[in-house]
Structure 1
Amino acid sequence: MGRDPASGVINEADTGGVMTEMVYGAVPQRDGEPILPKWWRTIDKWAVFGVALLFLVGLLLGLAASPPLAEKNGFQPFHYVQRQMFFGGLAMVAMVLTSMMGPVMVRRLAVIGFIGALVALMLLPVLGTDFGKGAVRWYSLGFASIQPSEFLKPGFVVVAAWMIAASREINGPPGLLMSFCLTLVVVGFLAMQPDFGQAALVLFGWGVMYFVAGAPIFLLLGMAGGVIFAGMIAYANSEHFARRIDGFLSPEVDPTTQLGFATNAIREGGFFGVGVGEGTVKWSLPDAHTDFIIAVAAEEYGLVLVLAIIALYCMIVVRSLFRLMRERDPFIRLAGTGLAAMFGVQAMINMGVAVRLLPAKGMTLPFVSYGGSSLIAGGIAVGMLFAFTRSRPQGEIRDILRGHVR
C-alpha cells in the first residue's frame, strides 16, 4: 500500500494505480522525456514500417508505369517518379508530425482541416476543373492540382467521431443525429461532382463508427437499403454513373477499355510476372500510374507482389484495430476505427476495380498510386491513426469491464 509522507496514512488509491500498471501493463509516464524518443517508444513501429514499404513499392512501380505517360506528355522519362518522391516525402513528414500530436491536438487539426476542405468542396462547381475526365474534382494551380475530397475524409472521420462520442455523455448533444446530417451534406456534395466512389467511402466510414458505437443492426440494414435506392436513382439520372455500372455488369469486357487492359495484364502476369520492364499494359492505360497501378504490379511482378501489398495493408489495419481495442476513450476508439476502416477499404476498392470485382471508381491505392493530394492527405490520415493508436499511460478497456463484473 502507498503511504502519505506527511501523515503516514496508507493511501489505497495510490496503491491501486500502481497495481493496475503492474497487472495491466500501462505505459509509465516519463517526465521531461524528449518528444522524439517518446514518439518512437509509443508508436506502432510495425505499422510505420508497413507504410514506408508501401511508399517504396509505389516508387518501384512508378519507375515501370509512368515513363510512357511522361514521354506522351513531353516530359523527362522519370518526371512523374520525381514528383511522387517529392509529394511522398511531404506525406511522410506530415505523417510523422501528425502522429506526434496528442488526441486533442489531432481533433483541433481535423476540425480546421475539415471546415477548409468542405468549403473547397462546395466551391468546386464554380472554381474547379475536370481535366477532361467528366467529373469536377480538382482545383488547378498550374504547377499542380488539389483534390479537396482527399483532405476532407480524415477530417470528416474525426469530427463525426467527436460528435458520436459526445452524444454518449450525460446531457450530451444529439451527436448521432448531427453526425448523420453532416454525412448527408458531405455525401451530397461529393455526388454532385459526381464522385460516387468517395461518397460511398465517406458513408461507409460513418457507418463503421456508428456500428462500433452500438447502432442497432436493423438501422444499419435500413441504411444499406437506402444506399441501394439512392444508387438506383443515380443510375437513372446520371449518365456517368450508368455507364460505369453497365460496363461492370456487361458479361463481355471490351479489350480496348481500361478495365479490359487491366484484367488482361493481371491474367498475363501469372504467379511471378513477365519480368521487370517487360510489361505492356503501361503503354495502353492512361491511368496506369494511378488508378490501375496494381495491374502493372501484377503483370511485371506477378501474384507474389500483389499478395505482399495486400499483406501490408492488412497488417496496418489489423494492428491498428487491435491497439484500439485496448483504448478507453470512446472518441479515440471511434475515430481510430473509422480511419483504419477507410484506409483499408480504399485499398480494397482500388484493387477490386482492377480485377473487375467492383465498378470503376477512380480511386487511388494509398501510398502506392501517383498523386500529390492522395499522398499528402493519406499521410495526414495515417498520422492521425498512429496518433490515436500510440501507447498512453492508462489501463486497458478490460480494466473497466472487469470492474463492472465485480
Structure 2
Amino acid sequence: MTEMVYGALPVQAGEPILPKWWRTLDKWTMSCVLMLFVIGLLLGLAASVPLAERNGFDNFHYVERQAVFGITALVAMVITSMMSPTLVRRLAVIGFICAFVALALLPVFGTDFGKGATRWYSLGFASLQPSEFLKPGFIVVAAWMIAASQQINGPPGTLMSFGLCLTVVLMLVMQPDFGQACLVLFGWGVMYFVAGAPMLLLVIMAAVVVMGGVVAYSSSEHFARRIDGFLNPEIDPTTQMGYATNAIREGGLFGVGVGEGEVKWSLPDAHTDFIIAVAAEEYGLVLVVILILLYTAVVARTLFRLMRERDTFIRLAGTGLVCTFGVQAMINMGVAVRLLPAKGMTLPFVSYGGSSLIAGGIAVGMLLAFSRSRPQGEIADFLRGHGRGHGHQTGPARGHGRG
C-alpha cells in the first residue's frame, strides 16, 4: 500500500551509501550545476584565449586550468553531498576557522596582484582567496548558532553569530572587498529573517548598512571611484563597463557568432568578472536567459525543498547557502548590465577562478547534503502528526518520495 500511495519503498537497514545517496539526492539541482560548469568551459574557450596570448601561454592554458579546478570542485561537491548534516556542520566549523585565520593573515602574507585589494595568497602555481572558502563555512556556523539559540535554555546564539558576522565583514572591508562583505552580511540577514527576526530590526539593519556605505564612500577612494562611475550617466567606452555594455548591445538576440566577439580582446577580466558580456556578445540573449533560468532553478527548487524541512539548523543553513549563491550570480550579471556598481565578483561555476570554483563546489555540496530527502524531515508531516495527536508514519515514506 505504501508503494502504491507514495511510489517509494521504505528505507532498508544497511542500505549501501551510493544507492541511498542517489535516491535521496536532488538530481535537478545537481544537473543545473553541471550545465553551468559546461557552459563555463564553453565560454572559457572564447574568453581566455586573448589573455593566454598576452601572457605568453598556450591558447587554451586557462581553459585547461579551469577544467582541472572544475573537476576538483565537482568531486568536492559529490563527496560533501554524501555527508550527514552533522558531519557537514563539523567540517564547516573547521573550515571556517582555517579560512578566518587565513583572512586575518592576508595583510602580512597576502598580495593584491596589482588590483588594489589584498585578497589572495600567491602559491606560485596558483592563487588562493580565503574569503571564497570563508562564506560557506560562516553561513553554516552562523546557522548552527542561531538554531541553538531557539532551543530551551540555549545560548545567545543569534547575538554571537551577529558579532561574528560584523567581525568578518570588518575584515573584508579592510582589504577592501565590499562585494564579499555584502554577501556575508546578506547571508546572515536571510537566516535571521527565516529564524523569525522582527521586521523593524531588519529595517534598522538596512539603514545601518546604508550609513556604512556613506562612510565607505567618504573614506575609501576605491569605493568612491566605483560608485561615481556607476552614477555617471555617461559611460566611457574605453572602460571595462563601456566595453561590456557595448558587447551586450552588439550581441542582440542570437549573438554575433561563436568566436566572432571582440570584447574578449579589450576586457582584462573577460574570463572572470565580465564573462556574461562574452556570453551575450557571441551567443546573444538566448544563452543569457538560459543561465538565468539555471540559477533560478537551483534557488527555487532548493527553497521549496527546505520549506518542508523540520530541522531548524538544516533549514537555516540551506537557505543561507542557496540565497548567497543566487545573489552572487545576480550581482555579477547586474554589474555587467550596469544595474549595480562594479564589485569584482565571479559568476558561480561559469567564471574562471580556482578558489571560486572549488569553494563553490563545497558550498553546493553542503546544499545538496542539507536538501536530501530524509525520514521525518518534512515540517508538514510533523504538523499533521501533531494535529491528529497520533504517531502516524507518513513522515518517513514522504521523506523518501522526493528526489
The verdict on a shared fold, with TM-score over 0.5 as the criterion, is yes
Cα distance change of structure 1 residues 103 and 26 upon mapping to structure 2, 3 Å threshold: farther
1:55 is aligned to 37
- Among 293, 298, 303, the residue aligned to 1:316: 298
Letter of the structure 2 residue corresponding to residue 314 of structure 1: T
- Among 152, 164, 167, the residue aligned to 1:170: 152
- Spell out, residue by residue over 1:48-90, the C-alpha distance to the aligned partner (whole angstroms, 9 max, x if none): 1100000000000000000000000000000000000000000
Mapped to 1, the partners of 2:231 and 2:7 lie a distance apart of: 52
- Native 8 Å contact 2:376 2:382 kept in 1: no
Mapped to 1, the partners of 2:144 and 2:6 lie a distance apart of: 27
Matched, 1:144 2:126: yes
Letter of the structure 2 residue corresponding to residue 279 of structure 1: G
- Native 8 Å contact 1:95 1:379 kept in 2: yes
Query: How far 1:395 sits from its partner (Å)?
Result: 4.9
2:235 is aligned to 253
Query: How far 1:403 sits from its partner (Å)?
Result: 4.7
1:34 is aligned to 16
Cα distance change of structure 1 residues 125 and 31 upon mapping to structure 2, 3 Å threshold: same
Residue correspondence of structure 1 range 67-216 to structure 2 within 5 A = 67-216=49-198
Determine helix, strand or coil for the equivalent of 1:87.
helix
Query: How far 1:185 sits from its partner (Å)?
Result: 0.3
Mapped to 2, the partners of 1:193 and 1:260 lie a distance apart of: 26
- Native 8 Å contact 1:24 1:396 kept in 2: no
**Percent same amino acid at aligned positions?**
79
Cα distance change of structure 1 residues 182 and 23 upon mapping to structure 2, 3 Å threshold: farther
Mapped to 2, the partners of 1:348 and 1:363 lie a distance apart of: 10
- Spell out, residue by residue over 1:298-338, the C-alpha distance to the aligned partner (whole angstroms, 9 max, x if none): 00000000000000001111111111111110000000000
Query: How far 1:396 sits from its partner (Å)?
Result: 1.9
Mapped to 2, the partners of 1:158 and 1:30 lie a distance apart of: 30
Mapped to 2, the partners of 1:151 and 1:243 lie a distance apart of: 28
- Native 8 Å contact 1:26 1:392 kept in 2: no
Residue correspondence of structure 1 range 253-332 to structure 2 within 5 A = 253-332=235-314
Matched, 1:219 2:165: no
Which range is displaced more, 387-396 or 240-249?
Answer: 387-396
Query: How far 1:30 sits from its partner (Å)?
Result: 2.0
Query: How far 1:402 sits from its partner (Å)?
Result: 3.3
Gaps in structure 2 of 5+ consecutive residues? 389-403
Query: How far 1:219 sits from its partner (Å)?
Result: 0.3
Letter of the structure 2 residue corresponding to residue 30 of structure 1: Q
Letter of the structure 1 residue corresponding to residue 247 of structure 2: A
Cα distance change of structure 1 residues 206 and 151 upon mapping to structure 2, 3 Å threshold: same
Matched, 1:380 2:349: no
Query: How far 1:394 sits from its partner (Å)?
Result: 1.3
2:400 is aligned to none
Mapped to 1, the partners of 2:59 and 2:347 lie a distance apart of: 22
Mapped to 2, the partners of 1:403 and 1:273 lie a distance apart of: 55
Determine helix, strand or coil for the equivalent of 1:129.
coil
- Native 8 Å contact 1:26 1:394 kept in 2: no
- Native 8 Å contact 1:24 1:395 kept in 2: no
Mapped to 1, the partners of 2:338 and 2:366 lie a distance apart of: 32
Mapped to 1, the partners of 2:230 and 2:143 lie a distance apart of: 34
1:5 is aligned to none
1:352 is aligned to 334
- Among 219, 232, 236, the residue aligned to 2:214: 232
- Native 8 Å contact 2:243 2:267 kept in 1: yes
Letter of the structure 1 residue corresponding to residue 347 of structure 2: L
Letter of the structure 2 residue corresponding to residue 372 of structure 1: G
Letter of the structure 1 residue corresponding to residue 111 of structure 2: T
Aligned residues: CA RMSD: 1.5
Gaps in structure 1 of 5+ consecutive residues? 1-17
Letter of the structure 1 residue corresponding to residue 367 of structure 2: L
Letter of the structure 2 residue corresponding to residue 54 of structure 1: L
Cα distance change of structure 1 residues 138 and 212 upon mapping to structure 2, 3 Å threshold: same
- Native 8 Å contact 2:187 2:323 kept in 1: yes
Determine helix, strand or coil for the equivalent of 1:362.
coil
Mapped to 1, the partners of 2:103 and 2:10 lie a distance apart of: 43
Larger radius of gyration: 1
1:6 is aligned to none
Normalised TM-score (structure 2): 0.94
Normalised TM-score (structure 1): 0.93
- Native 8 Å contact 2:307 2:315 kept in 1: yes
- Spell out, residue by residue over 1:89-120, the C-alpha distance to the aligned partner (whole angstroms, 9 max, x if none): 00000000000000000001100000000000
- Native 8 Å contact 1:27 1:391 kept in 2: no
